[in-house]
Amino acid sequence: MDLKKMVLEKAKSAKDASYKLLHVTTEKKNEALKLIADELEKSRQEIKAINEKDLENGKKKKLSSAFIDRLTLSDKRIDTMIKNCHDVAKLKDPVGEVTKEWTVPSGLKITKRRMPLGVVGIIFESRPNVCIEASTLTLKSGNSVILRGGSDAINSNIFVAGLIKNGIKKAGLPGGAVEIIEETDRKTILHLVKIKQFVDVIIPRGGLELIRFVEENSVIPVIRHDLGVCHVYVDKEADIDMAVKIAFNSKVQRPGVCNAMETLLVHKDVIDAFMPKIAAEYKKAGVELRACPEIKRAAGLMSIYDAGLKDAGEEDWEKEYLDLILAVKSVGSAEEAIEHINNHGSHHTDSIVTGNAETAEKFLAGVDSGSVMVNASTRFSDGNEYGLGAEMGISNQKLHVRGPMALEGLTSEKFVIYGTGQVRE
Amino acid sequence: MDLKKMVLEKAKSAKDASYKLLHVTTEKKNEALKLIADELEKSRQEIKAINEKDLENGKKKKLSSAFIDRLTLSDKRIDTMIKNCHDVAKLKDPVGEVTKEWTVPSGLKITKRRMPLGVVGIIFESRPNVCIEASTLTLKSGNSVILRGGSDAINSNIFVAGLIKNGIKKAGLPGGAVEIIEETDRKTILHLVKIKQFVDVIIPRGGLELIRFVEENSVIPVIRHDLGVCHVYVDKEADIDMAVKIAFNSKVQRPGVCNAMETLLVHKDVIDAFMPKIAAEYKKAGVELRACPEIKRAAGLMSIYDAGLKDAGEEDWEKEYLDLILAVKSVGSAEEAIEHINNHGSHHTDSIVTGNAETAEKFLAGVDSGSVMVNASTRFSDGNEYGLGAEMGISNQKLHVRGPMALEGLTSEKFVIYGTGQVRE
């Protein structure tokens, strides 16, 4: 098969559909989302049977149990996929929103109006539920999507994408609104990221190696979600009990995700008051600490922690452990904390604990991250927790969209100009 | 010299300065802009003397007179540069603007706040005034800029950039806010577009060849301004006199720029009423027409135009003539016009002339361009005409910013979250 031609045809079909979607009402899009939910419900047994093929292949390939878990479409996961369709149907349609309008001296009325991006290429790895998560958001925001999943879930992906297409067609919308690349040869990624005449944005979802590969090769703009090296900074004016709660929750509540804290910064004036308290909690939870010398000297800390208290090396300040390991560093001021975060973090999510509003504002303005917080756990950095209703991913970059992205991130604003016959002198 | 190391050092300096700029007040930035204007005024004679070197080199290289004109810093151009500084000082500072805020059930207050992008890399060709146009906008929006100009204006660029740095430093701001790459070896571009740890966006300003080179090689997001294949569509319900005025102005008022019309689409029902009138005007202005057969059959058209009326080939529908040449095509409906524009245009600026509001809305929603207009000349597609106060360029892409971009396009929104000790369950 000519892979390049195949990918090009899928992209062309998605582009053609995207132009048709510009004229589709919100009601029609919601109807399609409900019809997709119906298709999933009706085909529940078939989904599981086909998913079983991928699971068997995975077991033959001796994939890890965590990997097999991500591949699995259980009844509970299918329930979530169905709920996802209904939830997205309830969200506000961003398309057509007039974000600004004004009139200029020539008499032209200038408006900025939110419109779909067009065609979104999603390149993902194991989880077949991404097919639903991505398609529902792109459809609601008037975009076409091209799904390019990994080989481990390919049977599930193809089947689920087929169900989505059925739902879309039953609603009278163009089937090209959701296309799936059925071949998993890596060359299909290389072809996809070059078709800038038909594809408007590429969103890689997966490990760092995939993201770097896409970033290096794409001529299409990429929305990138890579590392989450998140910080909590305990200021000298922090409420110590609040700081203990937030530092504990940010690290321990779910350590394997991108919005978990990886480095704790502590103002030197509160080391003695704060460290023994948090260390006692961390010890119970089995957290390994890697600390700078000032932290290690904290009153009573060595007697609480012994083997679990290690020396931090320079490399620890940039590590995304995704595990019960934490780097801890003393800083002399909020400014030093900000500087450390900007130079060593990943511009994802960083939080300050302080009772001083001025220090808080300095931190919120100065820390260059997608999400900055005061007196809250970094674990809140999430589309659902922010009330976006869903999440397409979390952007680590600064162009177009920062932090958790959902429907609005899948649109951009164009200028719509109303004249009465004006010409330029 | 180690070019790679040199570019890296400039980028690092710009990044460090960008973090300092996050804490600078609007008043301070405006003071710096005024001090830059003073530097330009004070050094007027020197600017012209140094510019003379570039002009002499250009003449030796036998550059075209149009090229030499673009290189020239006359008193009038210096006046404009000075005015530019004062104008940008008057613009509203976009930094810190809260664009949205809401409270979620956890009690967190979620806000979206406009912040600088960080470091902007501008890669430009001949015009040394770009140094001022770019630096004033980046400074006002709290960004650092790295200027990488072409060899033909390098003496002027270095001198003007030095004046800008003087003004910035006199205001007490970090000089790294404006860096210039003094070497013009093309490798410096290749190095610059790879430094993603320090540079947040690349804006190429110049010919297609430069833009393609940047786009192919950059791992940093690019804001691209390439082709302007703009359309006017004369609908069957157009006011014919208004259509003549708009079609004439869009083509003839300044044919060599990106927002000039390149293809005129005419509804078949008004060919006979419209074409002879506009053709008479075009003929007086010396416009060559390349038309489809239906247009050529228009009543009386051949008698007005003879040698100047040519057959359009397929390639004419995608040409950016930048000259007194126009492709003209008959279409059967507004839908056909929209389809033609989306498939053959460059997503820059397209206008419909019609008296029917419903048809207008269909066109405005369906045409996938940065600027869409009803009953106005495409020549209005410009940051100043839109009241943005200035223009960094016109974006042809859909991510981040579409159409004319100024201060707001040099910022993006981050999430700023206010808690009272919340942790996740």
* pLDDT tens, residue by residue, B119-146: 999 999 989 999 999 999 999 999 999 9
**Cβ-defined contact of A415 to B96 (cutoff 8 Å):** no
**Cβ atoms B325, B256 nearer than 8 A:** no
In the three-class reduction of DSSP (H, G, I as helix; E, B as strand; rest coil), residue B263 is classed as strand
Do B3-226 and B230-385 have matching folds?
no
Q: A244 to chain B: nearest residue by CA?
A: B421
Confidence of residue A20 (pLDDT cuts 50, 70, 90): very high
ipTM (interface predicted TM): 0.93
pLDDT digit string, tens, across residues A383-423: 989 999 888 889 988 999 999 999 999 999 999 999 999 99
SS3 A405: strand
Q: Measured between CA atoms, how close is A191 to chain B, in angstroms?
A: 14
The domain ranges of chain B are 3-226, 230-385
Contacts of A368 in chain B (CB under 8 A): 19, 22, 115, 118
pLDDT at A188: 97
Residues of chain A contacting residue B221, judged by C-beta atoms under 8 Å apart = 221-222, 397, 399-400
The closest alpha carbon to B368, from A422, A139, A23, belongs to: A23
Q: How many CB atoms neighbour CB A64 within 10 A?
A: 9
Closest in B106, B374, B377 to A418, CB measured: B374
Cβ-based neighbours of A56, under 8 Å, separated by 6 or more? none
Q: Which CATH architecture has domain A230-376?
A: 3-Layer(aba) Sandwich (3.40)
> What gap in Å lies between CA A354 and CA A337, rounded to an integer?
13
Which burial class, exposed, middle or buried, applies to A310 when counting CB atoms under 10 A from its CB (0-12, 13-18, 19+)?
A: middle
The reported pLDDT for the residue numbered A54 is 97
CA A201 from chain centre, in angstroms, equals: 15
Residue pair B142/B22 in contact by the 8 Å Cβ criterion: yes
**Among all residues of chain A, which has the CA nearest to that of B417?**
A373
Tracing tokens 């965590």 back to the chain, one arrives at A66
Contact B400/A400, CB-based, under 8 Å?
yes
- What value does the mean pLDDT take over residues A35-55? 98
Coil, strand or helix: which one is B153? Answer: helix
Interior angle at CA B64, CA B58 and CA B69, nearest 5: 75
Whether the CB-CB separation of B227 and B346 falls below 8 Å is answered with: yes
Which residues of chain A have a CB within 8 Å of the CB of B392? none
For residue A259, the one-letter residue type is N
Start-to-end C-alpha separation, chain A: 57
**Is residue A100's pLDDT more than 90?**
yes
> Cβ A117–B399 below 8 Å, yes or no?
yes
Cα separation, B402 vs B395, in Å, equals 5
Contacts of A245 in chain B (CB under 8 A): 421, 423
Question: Quick check: B108 and A369 CB within 8 A?
Answer: no
Cα–Cα distance, A305 to A66 (Å, whole number): 31
Q: Residue A307: pLDDT above 70?
A: no
What are the beta bridge partners of residue B148?
B123
Please give the residue of chain A at the shortest CA–CA distance from B420: A375
Check B415 against A404: CB less than 8 A apart.
yes
Count the neighbouring beta carbons within 10 Å of the beta carbon of residue B83. Answer: 11
pLDDT recorded at residue A231: 98
Contact check, Cβ <8 Å, B22/A219: no
What 3-state DSSP class applies to A416?
A: strand
> Using the beta-carbon criterion (under 8 Å), do A415 and B104 form an inter-chain contact?
no
Q: Which chain B positions have a beta carbon within 8 Å of A336's beta carbon? A: none
The pair of three-digit structure tokens given for residue A358, joined into one six-digit string: 């001025």
Tens of pLDDT, residues A338-396: 999 999 999 999 999 999 999 999 999 999 999 999 999 999 999 989 999 888 889 98
pLDDT of A225 reads: 85
Q: Tokens 């394997």 sit at which residue?
A: A256
Distance, in Å, from the CA atom of B210 to the CA atom of B206, rounded to the nearest integer, reads: 6
**Cβ contact A331:A233 at 8 Å:** yes
pLDDT for A300 equals 76
- Residue-averaged pLDDT of chain A: 95
* Interface contact flag, B421 A372, Cβ < 8 Å: no
A334 vs chain B: nearest CA distance in angstroms? Answer: 13
Contacts of B373 in chain A (CB under 8 A): 416-419
pLDDT in tens, B155-181: 999 999 999 999 999 999 999 999 999
- Read off the pLDDT of residues B391-404 as tens digits, 9 standing for 90 and up: 888 998 899 999 99
pLDDT of res. A298: 84
Instruction: Give the residue from B402, B392, B397, B323 showing the smallest Cα distance to B139.
Output: B392
Pair of tokens at residue A145? 């999507």
Q: How far is A39 from chain B (nearest CA, A)?
A: 30
User: Which of B246, B412, B416 comes nearest A399 by C-beta?
Assistant: B412
Q: What is the Cα–Cα distance from B89 to B41, expressed in whole angstroms?
A: 16
CA torsion, points B236, B240, B246, B249, in degrees to nearest 10? Answer: 130
B168 burial (CB, 10 Å; 0-12 / 13-18 / 19+) is buried
User: Phi, psi at residue B115, to the nearest 5°?
Assistant: -130, 160
> Which residues of chain A make contact with B363, given a CB cutoff of 8 A?
none
Given a cut of 70, whether residue B95 has pLDDT beyond it is yes
CB atoms under 10 Å from CB of B3, counted, come to 15
How many beta-carbon contacts under 8 Å exist across A and B?
221
A420 interaction partners in chain B (CB closer than 8 Å): 375
With an 8 Å Cβ cutoff, are A398 and B368 in contact?
no
User: Nearest-CA residue of chain B relative to A389?
Assistant: B104
CB contact under 8 A, B402 and A421: no
How far B291 CA sits from the closest chain A CA (Å)?
24
**Residue A301: is its pLDDT beyond 70?**
yes
Q: Please tell me the total number of residues recorded for chain B in this structure.
A: 425
Domain B3-226 has CATH 3.40.605.10: yes
Q: What is the pLDDT of residue B307?
A: 64
Residues of A with Cβ-Cβ distance to B215 under 8 angstroms:
219
* Percent over 90 (pLDDT), chain A: 90
**Rounded average pLDDT over A207-228:** 90
CB A424 within 8 A of CB B253: yes
Inspect the interface and report whether the beta carbons of A200 and B399 lie closer than 8 Å. Answer: yes
State whether residue A298 is helix, strand or coil: coil
CA distances from B222 to A62, B45, B219, B324, B399 (A): 42, 36, 9, 31, 10
Q: Give B415's contacts in chain A (Cβ within 8 Å).
A: 370-372, 381, 386, 402-404
> What are the Cα distances from residue B286, in Å, to A49, B243, B323, B418?
71, 19, 10, 64
Model confidence at B202, pLDDT cuts 50, 70, 90, reads very high
Q: How far is A224 from chain B (nearest CA, A)?
A: 11
Q: Under an 8 A CB cutoff, do B368 and A201 touch? A: no
Residue A157 has pLDDT above 80, yes or no: yes
The CATH number assigned to the domain with range B230-385 reads 3.40.309.10
Predicted confidence band of residue B300 (pLDDT cuts 50, 70, 90): confident
Contact between A19 and B339 using a beta-carbon 8 Å cutoff: yes
B277 vs chain A: nearest CA distance in angstroms?
A: 17
pLDDT digits over B63-93, tens only? 999 899 999 999 999 999 999 999 999 999 9
Output the furthest CA–CA distance in chain A (Å, rounded): 81
Superfamily of domain A3-226+406-418: Aldehyde Dehydrogenase; Chain A, domain 1 (3.40.605.10)
Q: Is the pLDDT of residue B43 over 90?
A: yes
Query: Of B319, B304, B311, B339, which Cα lies nearest the Cα of B233?
Result: B339
The 10s digit of each residue's pLDDT in A130-143 is 999 999 999 999 99
Instruction: Among A113, A200, A377, select the one facing B424 at the smallest CB separation.
Output: A377
